Structure 1
Amino acid sequence: MTTLTQTLADFAVQTRFEDLPQPVVHEAKRLLLDTIGCALGAIETTSGKIALEYVSMLGGTPHATVVGSDRRSSARAAAYANARLANVLDADDTFPTSTHFGNATVFSALALAELDKRSGRDLLGAIAVGFDVGARIGSWMGAPMQIENGKVIGWNELGGPAATITWAAIGASTHIARLDGRQANHAFGIGGSNSPQPTLRKWAESIEQPMYKYADAGWCAEIGVSSALLARLGSTGFKHILDGENAFWKFYGSPTHDDHALLAGLGTDWQILNTTYKPWPCCRWIHHPLTAFAQLLDQHALRPDEITRVVVRANPFALTPIFREQHPRDLLSAEFSHAHALAALAHGIPAGPRWYAAATMDDPRIAAFRERVTVVPEPSSSNIAEWMTGGQWRGVPGGVDIHARGTIFSATADNAIGDPWTGATRFTDEQITRKFGVMVGLDVNGDGGDELRRAARDVADVVMSLDELPVERLTASLDALSRSMRAQGVEA
């Protein structure tokens, strides 16, 4: 009998680009462009500068591109820096197991694509396959809470989403490194046993966030790259890490698992089509109230100085102290503050690194608006288990009540902008491209200097044509864009 581990490992290495449906290829391109933009948007943040300086200190054979830098580094170090950068602003895509792993999927694959001189098709295939592996592992381990008879009865002491970032990187890396089934099995064992600790509960209780949230996406990407390279050299790992009484789900701390969710529709139901994109650089759980808030601002032409109070109605995940914080002290903490997100949106701050620039964080208008925001539970999402399908969320309601002009304007959003499951919320190619432009220093209209605009447009065009191009064409356009950003003095 083929084990769960071997079945998933065989999928990772035997799937070819020709096996991918056209919508999956297109989504891999969209994810690639969005993730690159998120990384470039973070290069002038404190955390981003640390990542770049750290990789510079490491040195290494210049095999791979370090986004935003004029230096190349080893595949392992480049994967680290780029994936960490992509997660810094919390603007990267979110899969409905409440996990970000597009960052490690994209940049572990890109680093090895450069090392082994793969094609654009190889890179896109690795992104689709790696994303599927991460998504399936997350769905397999289920939600970070305990559910009985359809109701939430408590929160897990261990488990959580961090390990899925590593598994996505492992899947992408084993695919693009062209391992055979035996080597991939060992790569799974090597990487799975070196996954990050389950720190979700510690993260949830911390108002002041560490720079890597609940796991450093860079290390997760690095684990994927190292696992594939070690296995290709002949190193071994646990052969049955997903199987048996002491399988990964158990020693990682998840109270349960769902083997059906792990393998159902493998190779036909592509999970990358279920990822969500972020129009705003903050936690995805804030996006449902933000969607309702944006709709009301637009519908009623509300100005921030007219708003005397905003009551945010949030789902159970977004009610912990960090989400209620009105005066976040740094970028990472502000990314989880309902009050800061609403203040930035109300004042028209471009949705990118400028949300967390010192000029925004210290703006007295922003601080005053944050004081007027309170957070309460959203009644229709009180039982979050009702909104789950196969270990994933397809929508969790959130809303706002805006007090202005002597009345109350109210709205609730079951789906947030960027959710792919409704036509009204699905992020279009144009929206992804516009977001990419803002991340690299253009304004919302795509203006910001001819050179920068041309360089950004070239990267977007290359990504969308990557199935017909070598990976070197992508990295050359990235280098040109990075130079243009530096010349333009783009800052967070």
Structure 2
Amino acid sequence: MTSLTQTLADFTVQTRFDDLPEAVVHETKRLLLDTIGCALGAVDTPSGRIALEYVNTLGGAPHASVVGSPRRSSATAAAYANARLANVLDADDTFPTSTHFGNATVFSALALAELDRRSGRDLLGAIAVGFDVGARIGSWMGAPMQIENGEVIGWNELGGPAATIAWAAIGASAHIARLDTRQANHAFGIGGSNSPQPTLRKWAESVEQPMYKYADAGWCAEIGVSSALLARLGSTGFTDILDGDNAFWKFYGSPGHDDHALLAGLGEDWQILNTTYKPWPCCRWIHHPLSAFAQLLDRHALRPDEITRVVVRANPFALTPIFREQQPRDPLSAEFSHAHALAALAYAIAPGPRWYEAATMNDARIAAFRERVTVTAEPSSSNIAEWMTGGQWRGVPGGVDIHARGAVFSATADHASGDPWTSATRFSDAQIRSKFGVMVGLDAAGDGPREIRHAARELADIVMSLDALPVERLTASLDALSRAMRTQSEKQES
């Protein structure tokens, strides 16, 4: 009988671009554009600057592009910096196993595409395949929380997002490196054995967040690139890492596994079609109450100075202390604060890097609004089993009660803006482009400095036609946009 490991490895390296349905190709382009935008938006953040300085310290052969930097670096170093940048603002896409891995999927594939001079079709194929591998590993291990009688009773003792981030990078890297099935099997063993420690429980209990949060997406991307390169050179790993009593799910801390979810519809049910996009740069669990909040602000033309109190009704995942923190002390912690997100939205702060700039974090109006936000449980999301299928969630209700004008305005969102499962919430191509523009310094209407506006439009157009172009066109356009952004930043500082 063919093992789980070998079956998934075979799929990873035998699938070709021509095997991808048109909808999958289109979604892959959308994910690529969104992820690049998230990385560019983080270049001038403290965490982003550290990533770029770290890569400069490492040096290395100039094989791959580093987002926001005039210097190229090695494939491993570039994958590290770019994937970390893409996750810094917590604005990157989220798959419904409670994790992000578009970051490492995209940038491990791009680094090796540059190293090996692959085509745009090759890059898109690697992203789609790698994303599927990460999604299936996450669905196989299930949600990282303890569920009893359908209700969440706590986080797992072990487990966490790092596993799926690393596996997505492993899959993308094995594909773009053109490993054979034997080499891919070994790459799986190498990468899976060296995945980061599971720290989700520590993250959930910490109000003040480290810069890498629950996992450094950069290291996960670097693991993927390294595992593929090592396997291609002949290094070996466990060839049965997904099989048997001591399979990956067990030593990584998952309380169970679902082999059907791992392989069901392999090559037919493409998981990239289930990813969710973020209109706001904060934890996805905050987006359900935020969606309800945005609806009420718009429907009733509510001004922030009219709002005397907001009660957030959150799902079970978003009730730990970090989500209840009213006055987060740093940008990374603010990404998980309901209060900060609602305050930034209420005051119409552009949903990108500006949410976490010092001027916003220290704004007296923002601080005062945060004090008026409290968090309680959303009753309709208590039975999490109702919202789960195949190890994935399909919407988890969250809502708000806004006290203003002597009345209470209430709304609940079963699905958040950016969810692909309803026509009302699915992000359009125009929304993806608009978000990309905001991330690189334009406003929601696409207005801003002419050089950035032109370079951003060119990059977006290239991404959306990448299946007919070489990867060099993408990286040249990315470099041009990075230069335009650096020039604008220098003008503002002078």
1:44-123 correspondence runs (5 A): 44-123=44-123
Q: Report what 2:162 is aligned to.
A: 162
Aligned partner of 2:177 in structure 1 is: 177
**Secondary structure at the residue paired with 1:452?**
helix
CA distance in 2, matches of 1:431, 1:339: 25
* Contact 2:187/2:237, CA 8 A, preserved across alignment: yes
Cα shift at 1:145: 2.1
- Secondary structure of 1:310's aligned partner: strand
Residue 31 of structure 2 corresponds to 31
- Aligned-partner Cα distance in 2 for 1:145–1:360: 33
Partner of 1:417: 417
Is residue 459 of structure 2 the alignment partner of residue 441 of structure 1?
Answer: no
What amino acid does structure 2 have at the position aligned with 1:176? I
Give yes or no for contact 1:324–1:337 (8 Å, CA) kept in 2.
Answer: yes
Q: Report how far residue 150 of structure 1 moved.
A: 3.5
1:372 and 1:159 map into 2 onto residues whose CA distance is 34
AA matched with 2:361: M
Distance in 1 between residues matched to 2:147 and 2:44, nearest whole Å: 42
| Structure 2 Cα separation of the partners of residues 440 and 53 of structure 1 | 20
Q: Does the 8 Å CA contact 1:288/1:398 hold for their aligned counterparts?
A: yes
Provide the secondary structure at the position in 1 that maps to 2:228.
helix
Match of 1:341 in 2: 341
In the aligned structure 1, how far is the partner of 2:209 from the partner of 2:147? 28
Deviation for aligned residue 1:146: 2.9
Q: State the partner residue of 1:278.
A: 278
CA contact (8 A) 1:306 1:405 kept: yes
Tell me what 1:227 maps to.
Answer: 227
Q: CA deviation at 1:161?
A: 2.1
CA displacement at 1:88 relative to structure 2: 0.1
The answer to whether the aligner puts 1:20 opposite 2:39 as a matched pair is no
For 1:292 and 1:362, locate their aligned partners in 2 and report how far apart those are by CA, in whole Å: 26
% same residue: 87
Distance 1:431 1:250 in 2: 40
Matched to 2:397, the amino acid is P
1:390 offset after TM fit, Å? 0.5
3-state SS, counterpart of residue 68 of structure 1: coil
Alignment partner of 1:389 is 2:389: yes
Aligned residue in 2 for 1:428 = 428
Distance in 1, Cα, partners of 2:307 & 2:150:
39
1:455 aligned residue: 455
Secondary structure of residue in 2 paired with 1:81:
helix
Per-residue deviation at 1:148? 4.4
Q: Counterpart amino acid of 1:112?
A: L
Alpha-carbon separation, structure 2, partners of 1:435 and 1:145: 31
Select between 366-375 and 156-165 the one with higher mean Cα deviation: 156-165
Match of 1:378 in 2: 378
Show CA shifts across 1:261-299 (max 9, x none). 000000000000000000000000000000000000000
Superposed displacement of residue 441, structure 1: 0.5
Amino acid in structure 1 at the alignment position of 2:389: T
Q: Does 1:329 align with 2:352?
A: no
* Larger deviation, residues 202-211 vs 144-153: 144-153
Task: Write the letter of the residue equivalent to 1:131.
Answer: F
Q: Deviation string for 1:305-329 (max 9, x for gaps)? A: 0000000000011000000001101
Deviation at 1:450, TM superposition (A): 1.3
Aligned residue identity for 1:60:
G
Determine the C-alpha separation between the residues in 2 that align with 1:49 and 1:385.
41
In structure 1, the partner of 2:407 is 407
Contact kept, 8 Å, 1:86 with 1:92, in 2: the verdict is yes
CA-CA distance at 1:180 after TM superposition = 0.2
1:449-488 equivalences in 2 (<5 Å): 449-488=449-488
Aligned-residue offset at 1:153: 4.7
Q: CA RMSD in A?
A: 1.0
> Equivalent residues in 2 for 1:249-328 (5 A)?
249-328=249-328
SS in 2 for 1:489: helix
Deviation at 1:382, TM superposition (A): 1.1
User: Displacement, 1:160?
Assistant: 2.2
Structure 1 portions without partners, runs of 5+: none
Deviation for aligned residue 1:367: 0.3
Secondary structure of 2:8's aligned partner:
helix
Give, in whole Å, the separation in 1 of the partners of 2:200 and 2:145: 11
CA contact (8 A) 2:151 2:382 kept: no
In 1, Cα distance between equivalents of 2:160 and 2:218: 18
What residue in structure 1 maps to residue 244 of structure 2? 244
What CA deviation, in whole Å up to 9, does each residue of 1:316-355 have, x standing for no partner? 1100000000110111000000000000000000000000
Distance 2:152 2:397 in 1: 16
TM-score scaled by structure 1? 0.99
C-alpha distance in 2, partners of 1:288/1:368? 23
Provide the C-alpha distance between the structure 2 equivalents of 1:92 and 1:165, rounded to a whole number of angstroms.
Answer: 13
The answer to which of 366-375 and 157-166 deviates more is 157-166
- Count of aligned pairs between the two proteins: 492
Residues of 2 paired with 1:377 and 1:450: CA distance? 46
Whichever residue aligns with residue 355 of structure 1, its letter is W
Cα distance in 2, alignment partners of residues 67 and 153 from structure 1: 41
Deviates more, 1:91-100 or 1:376-385: 376-385
Residue pair 1:141, 1:254 contacting (<8 A) in 2 also: yes
Cα pair 1:400 1:411 within 8 Å, conserved: yes
